[in-house]
Structure formats: C-alpha cells, structure tokens
C-alpha cells in the first residue's frame, strides 16, 4: 500500500456529519466536533474561515477547504458578522453531549433561505487509532483547492440525490466525502511542491519512487541503502545523495522514522505481542526493536502501550 493510502486508512467519513447548507447573509457557523479533518466545499457564494490562531482564509465558489482539527473554528459570510445581528449555526455531532446524530444531518439541507446566496457541503471525518496522525503532521492548519465549476454542480446534485433517498443515503455521502478527501489532498500535494510531505515528494521523484514503493510495500524486510538503490537501479552513492536532497535526511533515518510511526500505531491499536510488532516493522528480535524504539521515542514499547491505553 502506498503511504497516502495507508495514512488515509485511519481516517474515514464513516457515519460522518454531512450537511448541505444553503445560507443567506449574515451568518456564522461554529465547527465544534473536534474532528481531525473537516472539509468545506463552496458550491455557491463564499465566506471566510476563522481559525483558532486568528488566521483568516477566504473561500469562494469552487473552493474546497480542509481544516486540520481538533480545535473549534468558524466560517462566516464575513468576519464583521460576529459584531452585528446574524444567524448562528453550530456543528457538534461528534461530542459526547451532542443533541444530533450523523444520520439526522446526513444529506439534509439546512439554512435560513433555500435559495440562499451561499451553498456549502460540509463533512467532518472521524479517526480510528493513530495511523492518521502522520498525515496530519504533513498538512497546514488549512488548505484550499479550487475545483472546476462543473465539479461543484456534480457535487451539489449528488448531495441532493442523497437527501432524497433514505435507503443508503448516509453511506452514499460517506463514500462521496472519502472520494473528495483523497482527490483534494492529492491535488494539494501536487501543487504544494517543496511544502508537500517528504514521503510524497519522494514518490514523485523518478529515482526514489521505486525504492520507496518497495519499502512501503514490504516494510518487514531488512532494508539497506544498497538494497534500496538496487530497487531504483542506481549506485548506492548516487541514491543516498539524491535521497538526502529530496527527503531532507539519509535513507536509513527515514526508514527508521517510518518504522517507529508504524510501531506506535500497532502498539496503540492492536494487541500484538512486542515480538510480532518488531518483526512486522523490520527488526529481527524484540530486544533490538525495543532498544531502537526507546532511543527514538523515549519510552520502551511496553511503557508506550501502557501510556496510550
């Protein structure tokens, strides 16, 4: 499995809050779910995202914004709406004391004017375990991608269709949001260039891609720089030089970091024995793995598992 697919496997729109909002200004929406990722697609009109650190990000027709959680944030038709009479909305359906459920909001059109100037598709994503955390570390607080207007029209039609069909409507919208998340992230990574995560830059490099694909497909093998270079069909020295230039660190440092990230996930999300985890991430025995894990994470695998629990 490629790194992006692996990281996205830990965050899905399964039973997500999916809302089709049609609004007439002035209005504000508070997102209080604490979701790892929230996606807002602007079908008509627009507004301003207000992040917890005070950052303002304008979004307009055709824009899809992905906001990294878990802190609450706002979307308003304009920042000044907070200081004058306006309609307030809140999405907080993942919290323990929420008065709504994902099924109740799934695909439902809401707002203060069916023919409002601004129309949005909003989706909040749940996470299972820790696998998604490495993905979040590679994202900015908010990213915005502009889509073709035909895509917006198709998305609005799909949302309206989901709202009309009671059977399977939640599943339809969940899969739609999963598809939209993958497409948006891939587009942003392609446009981000040097700001994209290192693993994505490496996969886009013709020399490094074969080696990275081999490592991520078979992480349990005992990889060396020479073995990775052989996968790419170049000399060890040339491979190591190119890898450090593109990825910002030597090959074995990257491999160790990936293995420690995967080990954290397995320690937190499974009941596998330490020896099993060691073997699955490329260590010959539990002793060597435990020493490496403690050196990089400051805790033994057992202590880390206990703290995570």
Question: Any idea what DSSP says for residue 57?
Answer: E
The answer to whether residue 56 scores a pLDDT higher than 60 is yes
Joined together, the tokens standing for residue 64 give 């899809």
The answer to whether residue 102 scores a pLDDT higher than 60 is no
The answer to whether residue 168 scores a pLDDT higher than 80 is no
Upstream peptide bond of 26 is cis (omega within 30 degrees of 0): yes
The answer to whether residue 132 scores a pLDDT higher than 70 is yes
Least-confidence region, from 65-74, 75-84, 155-164, 170-179? 155-164
Upstream peptide bond of 63 is cis (omega within 30 degrees of 0): no
Residue 7: band (very low, low, confident or very high) from pLDDT cuts 50, 70, 90: confident
The answer to whether residue 94 scores a pLDDT higher than 80 is no
- Total count of residues recorded for the chain: 309
How far apart are alpha carbons 14 and 166 in whole angstroms? 17
- pLDDT at position 106 is 38
pTM of the model: 0.76
295 φ, ψ (degrees, to nearest 5): -65, -35
Contact 24, 111 (CB under 8 A): yes
- pLDDT at position 107 is 41
3-state SS class at 138? coil
Residue range 194-208: average pLDDT? 86
Closest CA to 51 of 27, 79, 77, 74: 74
The answer to whether residue 274 scores a pLDDT higher than 50 is yes
The answer to whether residue 91 scores a pLDDT higher than 90 is no
Contact 155, 43 (CB under 8 A): yes
Percentage of the chain lying above the pLDDT 90 cut: 37
State the angle between helix axes of 149-164 and 169-192 in degrees (0 to 180), rounded to the nearest 10.
Answer: 160
Residue 119: band (very low, low, confident or very high) from pLDDT cuts 50, 70, 90: confident
How far apart are alpha carbons 107 and 174 in whole angstroms? 10
Joined together, the tokens standing for residue 231 give 């996968």
- pLDDT at position 209 is 93
Beta-strand runs (E) in the chain: 11-23, 27-31, 37-44, 46-50, 56-60, 63-68, 73-76, 87-91, 108-110, 118-127, 142-146
Beta bridge partners of 46: 60
How far apart are alpha carbons 68 and 297 in whole angstroms? 24
Higher pLDDT, 230 or 193: 230
- pLDDT at position 252 is 94
Compute how many other C-beta atoms are within 10 angstroms of the C-beta atom of residue 241: 13
Question: Any idea what DSSP says for residue 111?
Answer: S
Residue 105: band (very low, low, confident or very high) from pLDDT cuts 50, 70, 90: very low
Closest CA to 178 of 16, 3, 2: 16
How far apart are alpha carbons 107 and 18 in whole angstroms? 6
Joined together, the tokens standing for residue 28 give 């504000």
pLDDT in tens, 19-54: 667 788 888 988 888 888 888 888 888 999 999 998
How far apart are alpha carbons 22 and 114 in whole angstroms? 6
Residue range 262-287: average pLDDT? 92
Contact 269, 130 (CB under 8 A): yes
- pLDDT at position 99 is 46
Residue range 248-273: average pLDDT? 92
């Amino acid at each position: 499995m490629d790194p992006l697919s692996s990281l996205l496997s830990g965050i899905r729109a399964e039973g997500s809050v999916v809302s089709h909002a049609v609004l007439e200004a002035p209005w504000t929406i508070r997102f209080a779910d604490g979701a790892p990722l929230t996606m807002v697609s602007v079908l008509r009109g627009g507004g301003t995202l207000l992040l917890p650190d005070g950052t303002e990000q304008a979004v307009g027709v055709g824009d899809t914004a992905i906001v990294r959680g878990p802190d609450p944030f706002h979307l308003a038709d304009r920042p000044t709406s907070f200081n004058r009479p306006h309609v307030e909305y809140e999405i907080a359906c993942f919290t323990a004391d929420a008065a709504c459920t994902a099924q109740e909001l799934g695909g439902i059109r809401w707002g203060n004017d069916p023919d409002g100037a601004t129309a949005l598709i909003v989706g909040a994503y749940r996470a299972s375990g820790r696998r998604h955390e490495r993905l979040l570390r590679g994202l900015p607080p908010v990213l915005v991608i502009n889509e073709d207007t035909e895509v917006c029209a198709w998305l609005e039609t799909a949302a309206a269709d989901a709202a009309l069909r009671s059977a399977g409507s939640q599943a339809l919208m969940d899969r739609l949001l999963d598809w939209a998340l993958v497409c948006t992230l891939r587009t942003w990574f392609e446009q981000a260039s040097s700001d994209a995560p290192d693993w994505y830059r490496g996969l886009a490099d013709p020399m490094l891609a074969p080696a990275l694909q081999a490592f991520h497909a078979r992480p349990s093998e005992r990889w060396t720089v020479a073995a990775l270079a052989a996968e790419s069909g170049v000399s060890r020295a040339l491979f190591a030089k190119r890898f450090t230039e593109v990825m910002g660190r030597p090959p074995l440092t990257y491999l160790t970091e990936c293995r420690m990230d995967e080990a954290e996930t397995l320690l937190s999300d499974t009941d596998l024995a330490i020896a099993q985890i060691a073997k699955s991430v490329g260590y010959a025995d539990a002793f060597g793995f435990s020493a490496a894990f403690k050196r990089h994470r400051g805790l033994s695998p057992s202590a880390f598992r206990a703290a995570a629990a």
